[in-house]
Structure 1
């Protein structure tokens, strides 16, 4: 295989035909894993910047275009609903074609949707806004799916860490994005685009660049290589002349992990989406919104290496409990914080992001524990559909709850809901062999 632009020649995946000698050594597998993490880190930095726009100003843009606070959660609902479809398609594409093509296409679609939002704002077209936000959700789903690439070739005792490295890279772009709200608004105004659509210009460029990086450099494909290694080892250990056994069933731990991720996503998206609306109603400007959301996104991604190590060392159960308790703390602080208190709002959103981080990383590790490379990608795609639907439900319902009640009721209700993670986990451990 020829070298790639801007990098060293890739390591060709080994040809696995069932002979043990043809399988890669642990050192060779580790080398490919390190290369994979490097490429994923670069793409996630770019993808994080693309992710930030919809989170930061999507609700505000919708409120201006629709003229209704009750519908301000609709953008989050639309792009998370779009991410549900994208998660399904990326999972199926990964199963058949590998991570490289699945992730690259997902990011490129997200970039197209971001530029569509800009056009919708310029034309003041609500139908185009809805369609574009739906497509923009592809970037969100792909940004989450990329975390699995970090665990494809990781040894069992390092799965949490491998996932965390893919996640922490998002921090750089995701934190920079909200803090570019005002500068991008100035840029947008200079070219005749509404200020609130400015961050979506950044999103379109960032998502597109992430897709190009993955398409060019994610070679060899980590998922396809992991599948070949698993098949080769199975063939090497089989009795000569015997037929291959069936693909193992998905363990109960995968659905426990799915439940953890679904609940943490629902709570996080609901509270996060309405925070900018709540802040603007209390006189905070876009700069303050950017600071709060930037701190929130930093807490979502930055602790990942520490969280990954804790998941590997302390176990899955303590970390699920920690996620539930942290999200409850976020809800309580947000509910009690005065509307004009920037410091307490930052604290609440930091706790919200940290609880989500712990829940997502622990849930992801539970899914990897309970699956085999031959059924992993499809299972991951299916579960991420559920996670995305939970986010869509949280985004749409959050605006309705805010309009009918208050931000305080929304925040406290989300915190209390997160505590259901604890009985769900205890029940699953009592009924099924779920890793501790």
Structure 2
């Protein structure tokens, strides 16, 4: 298929996927290091773990708010400027986090973490760019390839925690700021890749192919997005499934470094366990995409819910410090999240019209981020008061609720594929 301007859509889709894969490799490294050490830096600055989860909450909230703002930019101007801006803001946030370590300022850490969430927002929104030009029966596969691309940087990043920290400390920097230097570099490189290579813009080309009148300005208000989602039951299920699964993943994952640290684990061990978790999140995503396209979106969401339940059981039973049970539990936590994220994202894209997709996708990430922020904040309080095992019990209820959504989805009359 070619556009009126003579563009080969299939060729452009391949170029788009390659560009997204390259950017995700860099961006994934940047995002993962911030997730791994934010709680540790907060504990060092405060001298207590009671509020150690707050910077992660700020990062998640920043990601949520920025996701919708980026979506509004992409609605009118395309994917390229929105994704590049998100990673650029994330790089600035990582630099502010470095400054917070030097100044022992918790306020600066919160500001930096909030801005750093922009990189997470761009990282998440990238997956939807892969679906703009994809055939309907290949959307989940295309989306999953971008999710999978995060594996390289996201696995490499946590394993560089120790070396990066030692290198910066040898230069006189305080503990736990080195990984944020890596985060700034990764986010900057991702922004550059988008600016240089994401041309022509896949979203704008998709609108040309669909003969959408460019003179009509899409409605990007929250009220309109709510009406679109509320009128489509399976879109509602998709948003709720992503939100619940992501909250389970974030709440358990964000407190795991502290659980390991309190048991005597060093940064190398913490980085390894987080890397195993990230392998579960991203490495098998293409298989999830193929399964979602061939077997349907809903069965994969159900499988993800079951895997999440198994993960919190193993993690909750694990003692403080490194253990096989905790490592396997964190791997399954990532794998269950992967099932739900790929299938639900594809289901959401299937369920809404082309002209509304960017803002609905952004609003979905806003809702997901707010739910996860609540989970991250609650996780710190739960662990500080009742312990890590209790946190996993609470997460187990959310994982079960994800599976129960399927009962509602199967009764809906949405024309979107199940």
Q: TM-score category by the smaller chain?
A: over 0.9
Instruction: After TM superposition, list the pairs within 5 Å mapping 1:209-288 onto structure 2.
Output: 209-231=189-211, 249-250=228-229, 251-288=232-269
Asked whether 1:134 is paired with 2:121, we answer: no
Instruction: After TM superposition, list the pairs within 5 Å mapping 1:154-173 onto structure 2.
Output: 154-173=134-153
User: Do the aligned residues in 2 keep the contact of 1:292 with 1:346 (CA within 8 Å)?
Assistant: yes
Where does residue 220 of structure 2 map in the other structure?
Answer: none
Asked whether 1:151 is paired with 2:131, we answer: yes
Aligned mates of 1:340, 1:84 — CA distance in 2: 31
Match of 1:195 among 159, 167, 175: 175
Task: Give the deviation of 1:424 after TM superposition.
Answer: 1.6
Asked whether 1:111 is paired with 2:91, we answer: yes
Aligned mates of 2:371, 2:322 — CA distance in 1: 29
Asked whether 1:73 is paired with 2:53, we answer: yes
User: Do the aligned residues in 2 keep the contact of 1:184 with 1:195 (CA within 8 Å)?
Assistant: no
Where does residue 360 of structure 1 map in the other structure?
Answer: 341
Task: Give the deviation of 1:341 after TM superposition.
Answer: 4.5
Aligned mates of 1:271, 1:435 — CA distance in 2: 31
Where does residue 408 of structure 1 map in the other structure?
Answer: 389
TM-score (norm 1): 0.89
Match of 1:348 among 322, 326, 329: 329
Where does residue 206 of structure 1 map in the other structure?
Answer: 186
Alignment size in residue pairs: 404
Deviations 1:127-152 (CA, angstroms, capped at 9, x unpaired): 11111111010001110000001111
User: Do the aligned residues in 1 keep the contact of 2:67 with 2:118 (CA within 8 Å)?
Assistant: yes
**Higher Cα Rg, which structure:** 1
Where does residue 13 of structure 2 map in the other structure?
Answer: 33
Task: Give the deviation of 1:232 after TM superposition.
Answer: 5.7
Aligned mates of 1:211, 1:430 — CA distance in 2: 42
Aligned mates of 2:117, 2:85 — CA distance in 1: 13
Deviations 1:73-106 (CA, angstroms, capped at 9, x unpaired): 1111000010011101111010011000000000
TM-score (norm 2): 0.93
Aligned mates of 2:321, 2:47 — CA distance in 1: 24
User: Do the aligned residues in 2 keep the contact of 1:253 with 1:369 (CA within 8 Å)?
Assistant: no
Where does residue 182 of structure 1 map in the other structure?
Answer: 162
Task: Give the deviation of 1:23 after TM superposition.
Answer: 7.6
Evaluate the alpha carbon distance shift between residue 72 and residue 249 of structure 1 in structure 2; reply closer, same or farther with a 3 A threshold.
closer
Unpaired stretches in structure 2, ≥5 consecutive residues = 215-224
User: Do the aligned residues in 1 keep the contact of 2:306 with 2:403 (CA within 8 Å)?
Assistant: no
Task: Give the deviation of 1:373 after TM superposition.
Answer: 1.7
Evaluate the alpha carbon distance shift between residue 233 and residue 378 of structure 1 in structure 2; reply closer, same or farther with a 3 A threshold.
closer
Matched position secondary structure for 1:195: coil
Aligned mates of 2:320, 2:205 — CA distance in 1: 52
Task: Give the deviation of 1:224 after TM superposition.
Answer: 0.8
Asked whether 1:96 is paired with 2:37, we answer: no
Deviations 1:351-383 (CA, angstroms, capped at 9, x unpaired): 000011111101100111011221100110111
Deviations 1:152-185 (CA, angstroms, capped at 9, x unpaired): 1100110010000111110000000000011001
User: Do the aligned residues in 2 keep the contact of 1:33 with 1:222 (CA within 8 Å)?
Assistant: yes
Where does residue 3 of structure 1 map in the other structure?
Answer: none
User: Do the aligned residues in 1 keep the contact of 2:263 with 2:322 (CA within 8 Å)?
Assistant: no
Aligned mates of 1:410, 1:427 — CA distance in 2: 27
Aligned mates of 1:383, 1:67 — CA distance in 2: 36
